[in-house]
Amino acid sequence: MSLQTPTIVIFDMDGTAVRHINPWVLPVLERLDDAYYLCAKFFGWFFRRRAKDPLLPPPEEFKPRRKPRLLVHRALHKVRRKEVDQIVEPCPGIYDVLDFLKAHNIPMAMISNGLGKGYGHDIMTKFDLEEYFAATVFREEVSKSKPSPEALLLALERLEITPGENDVIWYIGDRHKDVIAAQMLDEQMDATAEPIAYGLNAAMAILEKGYSPEHIIMSYYDMQARLEKMLGEVPKKKVGAKKTGSKKKNPDEMAA
């Protein structure tokens, strides 16, 4: 399956748009999130199985199911004491890609399995990402986390776009579940959804699912070159200056 030119681009946040300064943090968070997903999947099967067989007591003996409280996510963010720029940083080269897509009027959205409150929204503000993304979706805003495509569908809704058969949606992510989410999205609409693997974990899923190596990028500098071939270069006057972090200046810079 050859990679097609995007008309809509959706980014994952952790490990894709931003990376953790301490490299061991993200794998731990991802494993916790994967474990949460597997547990939820098991209990979902368990309760569906109950409806087919008297494996459990009658439903009336159960207390009403409460809305998921996202305990793992909330505990992680409650423990956090540092500012987000002491925890994560933008992935190298990403601002060049964002400027390029923006200059070509490609709609962009950001989604994450992490919480928005106290984390995701802070990242968007701190690193001036809000000017690029017309829509964001965080974990507390959906009932199912990735690999469910629910967050992707909500992102498209918030972009106020109904993709047609000529649209190509790129979903850029760094995990196996990101590739599966894009594949599931592709099955649910007329538009084409293309998973783009950023890093080794997602790259393995790309090959496993039969996508071409073109769907794998190891850096945003590589993506920039590919996009220029697909969409053409943009006059430099239309492209914003590179950014390395927040636009906000510290007191010493202001004094100078």
Distance, in Å, from the CA atom of 35 to the CA atom of 29, rounded to the nearest integer, reads 10
Residue type, 156: L
Q: Would you state the pLDDT for residue 207?
A: 95
Q: What is the largest CA-CA distance in the chain?
A: 75
Peptide bond before residue 54 is cis, with ω within 30 degrees of 0 = no
Structure-block tokens of residue 42: 């098991």
Residue type, 3: L
> How far is the first Cα of the chain from the last one, in angstroms, to the nearest whole number?
54
Query: What is the chain's pLDDT, residue by residue, as a tens digit (256 residues)?
Result: 689 999 999 999 999 999 988 765 555 555 555 555 455 555 555 555 555 555 444 555 444 444 444 554 554 555 455 688 888 999 999 999 999 999 999 999 999 988 898 889 999 999 999 999 999 999 999 999 899 999 999 999 999 999 999 999 999 999 999 999 999 999 999 999 999 999 899 999 999 999 999 999 999 999 999 999 999 987 665 555 455 554 444 545 445 4
* Domain 8-21+81-245 architecture: 3-Layer(aba) Sandwich (3.40)
How large is the angle between the packed helices 176-187 and 200-208, nearest 10 degrees? 40
SS in 3 state form for 165-229?
Answer: CCCEEEEEECCHHHHHHHHHHHHCCCCEEEEEEECHHHHHHHHHCCCCHHHEECCHHHHHHHHHH
Q: How many residues does the chain have?
A: 256
Distance, in Å, from the CA atom of 149 to the CA atom of 35, rounded to the nearest integer, reads 18
Per the rule left: phi > 0, alpha: psi between -120 and 50, beta: everything else, 18 is: beta
Structure-block tokens of residue 26: 């993200």
pTM summary value: 0.74
